[in-house]
């Protein structure tokens, strides 16, 4: 059963239940009130009739001085009872008159009915059904003089029960009309409500089939509107995550392709020259040239493996940032490049402050930036490493006056194995991993690597670090 049908049937059953209970209570209450009113009216009328009959018989007995004449009083009583019957005020009242012993003196009731109601029900009313009519039976005693008579009156109260039957019919008729209108309204309303849910369902199916850009865009202030907005936010989040996963997958595929290429090229050369030395009888110069080439390519493979291991080790590394004087890192860099005979190309201009960092990672990041700058620098040009306070941060900049980077390549060079000039990079033992390592180290330090470059004018690479507030000189 669909949701719209569930809504309709649930509401209809609820309406039927409530309407039935309410109508039953109302009809029962109206019937009880009307019946009580008619009972009170009949009791009052009966009491008046008894009083009137008794008074008339007493007057007759006094006037005629025949108070001890039973036959006379009986005739007069029958006469007055008949007058009651013919009275316009009581067209539907039947009477039965009995003597002191219960013998029927007169009755307008049917014989079986007269027998059924005796003087035993004195001063009590009885509700009964006689010949498709509902009646109220009352019996009272009359004592004119020395004699007793019993008057039984049957009052027709069928109108009260007819009114209840009429109300029940109206209940069914009104119920049918209400149910019909309710069903129509509920169908329209449920269609309106479920249409939005159907839209949510359709969009979810489209997303499940791979169309991640689908949105519900239901604009309403109710719960369905809130659900729609939450669903769209979830869909947007999932779409972004899927895009990121696709990009990561593409990056991994590109990474593996580049890595395979970087490995394959020197290995092919090494195997080729090694096979030449093994197979052919070469002169000393050729042998020396082949050995040198094998050595150079082997060193490049070694550097590539170390750099790759360094990058991979940063993937899941958890580091703790501590306060380190920046001059300590600068001294390490000076020693490193002095050993490698590159210190003459470097200039350091760093304000002496204490920063939050991981010492080894910060050294690695600056070394890679400096190496890139040295490789890109033109002849007789100096690379400047500058450190300065910028607002509440400490900014480190590596500035070169080299070949620069094209604008289209700036966002790409931080990707692993991406090289602007591959032939130039290979000559300088580059593999395109240095900036990828720097980017990862910057993420560990909650900062971002910024690159500002112009072709043939040079490049500025920079990032910021947190400054230790209580600065101390630590040697």
Q: For 3-167, CATH number?
A: 3.30.450.20
Residue that has been written with the tokens 């009651």 in this structure: 84
CA angle 401, 404, 409 (to 5 degrees): 160
Domain segments of the chain as ranges: 3-167, 215-313, 319-466
Nearest in space to 68 (alpha carbons), one of 149, 145, 150? 145
What's residue 303's pLDDT? 66
What's the CA gap between 249 and 246, in Å, rounded? 5
User: Which CATH entry fits the domain spanning 215-313: 2.60.40, 2.40.30, 1.10.287, 1.10.10?
Assistant: 1.10.287
pLDDT in tens, 72-122: 888 888 888 888 877 755 557 888 888 888 888 888 887 766 666 655 566
Bridge partners (DSSP) of residue 122 are 139
Residue 34 · residue 160 · CB < 8 Å: yes
Two tokens, residue 16: 């039927």
| Residue 226: its H or E element | helix 223-279
Helix axes 223-279, 284-313, angle to 10 degrees: 160
What count of residues does the chain have?
475
Q: For 319-466, CATH number?
A: 3.30.565.10
What's residue 425's pLDDT? 42
What's residue 90's pLDDT? 53
Residue that has been written with the tokens 């035993």 in this structure: 120
Q: Are strands 346-350 and 383-390 parallel, antiparallel or unpaired?
A: parallel
pLDDT in tens, 45-67: 888 888 888 888 888 777 765 54
- Number of CB atoms found within 10 A of residue 76's CB: 20
What's residue 125's pLDDT? 79
Question: What does residue 75 show for φ and ψ, rounded to 5 degrees?
Answer: -60, -45
Residue numbers in the chain where pLDDT is lower than 70: 1, 3, 64-68, 88-91, 112-123, 251-266, 300, 303-304, 306-318, 340, 416-433, 470-475
What's the CA gap between 323 and 335, in Å, rounded? 21
Residue 383 DSSP label:
E
- Number of CB atoms found within 10 A of residue 104's CB: 16
In DSSP notation, 68-79 reads T-HHHHHHHHHH
Whether 319-466 and 215-313 are alike in CATH topology: the answer is: no
Residue that has been written with the tokens 């720097």 in this structure: 438
What's the CA gap between 96 and 111, in Å, rounded? 10
Residue 416, helix vs strand vs coil: coil
């Amino acid at each position: 059963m669909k949701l719209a049908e569930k809504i309709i049937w649930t509401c209809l059953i609820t309406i039927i239940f409530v309407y039935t209970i309410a109508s039953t209570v109302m009809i029962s209450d109206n019937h009880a009130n009307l019946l009580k009113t008619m009972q009170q009216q009949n009791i009052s009328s009966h009491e008046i009739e008894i009083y009137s009959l008794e008074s008339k018989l007493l007057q007759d007995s006094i006037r005629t001085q025949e108070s001890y004449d039973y036959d006379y009083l009986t005739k007069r009583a029958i006469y007055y009872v008949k007058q009651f019957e013919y009275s316009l005020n009581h067209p539907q009242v039947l009477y039965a008159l009995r003597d002191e012993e219960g013998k029927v003196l007169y009755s307008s009731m049917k014989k079986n009915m007269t027998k059924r109601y005796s003087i035993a029900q004195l001063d009590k009313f009885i509700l009964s059904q006689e010949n498709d009519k509902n009646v109220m039976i009352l019996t009272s005693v009359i004592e004119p003089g020395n004699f007793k008579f019993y008057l039984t009156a049957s009052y027709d109260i069928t109108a009260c029960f007819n009114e209840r039957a009429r109300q029940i019919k109206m209940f069914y008729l009104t119920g049918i009309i209400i149910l019909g209108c309710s069903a129509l309204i509920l169908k329209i309303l449920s269609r309106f409500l479920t249409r939005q849910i159907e839209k949510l369902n359709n969009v979810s199916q489209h997303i499940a089939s791979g169309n991640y850009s689908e949105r519900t865009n239901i604009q309403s202030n109710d719960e369905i509107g809130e659900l729609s907005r939450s669903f769209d936010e979830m869909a947007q989040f999932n779409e972004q995550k899927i895009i990121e996963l696709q990009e990561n997958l593409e990056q991994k595929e590109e990474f593996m392709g580049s890595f395979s290429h970087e490995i394959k090229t020197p290995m092919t050369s090494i195997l080729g020259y090694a096979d030449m030395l093994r197979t052919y009888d070469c002169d000393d110069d050729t042998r020396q040239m082949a050995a040198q080439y094998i050595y150079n390519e082997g060193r490049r493979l070694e550097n590539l493996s170390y750099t790759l291991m360094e990058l991979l080790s940063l993937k899941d590394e958890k580091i703790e940032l501590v306060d380190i004087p920046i001059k300590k890192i600068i001294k390490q860099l000076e020693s490193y490049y002095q050993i490698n005979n590159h210190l003459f190309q470097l200039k350091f201009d760093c304000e002496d402050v204490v920063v939050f960092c991981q010492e080894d990672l910060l050294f690695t990041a600056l070394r890679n930036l400096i190496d890139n700058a040295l490789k890109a620098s033109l002849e007789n040009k100096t690379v400047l490493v500058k450190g300065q306070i910028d607002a509440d941060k400490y900014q480190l900049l590596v500035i070169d006056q080299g070949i620069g980077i094209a604008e289209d390549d700036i966002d790409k060079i931080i990707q692993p194995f991406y090289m602007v000039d591959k032939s130039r990079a290979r000559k300088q033992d580059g593999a395109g991993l240095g900036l990828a390592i720097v980017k990862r180290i910057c993420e560990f330090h909650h900062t971002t690597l910024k690159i500002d470059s112009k072709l043939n004018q040079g490049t500025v690479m920079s990032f910021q670090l947190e400054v230790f507030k209580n600065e101390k000189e630590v040697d």
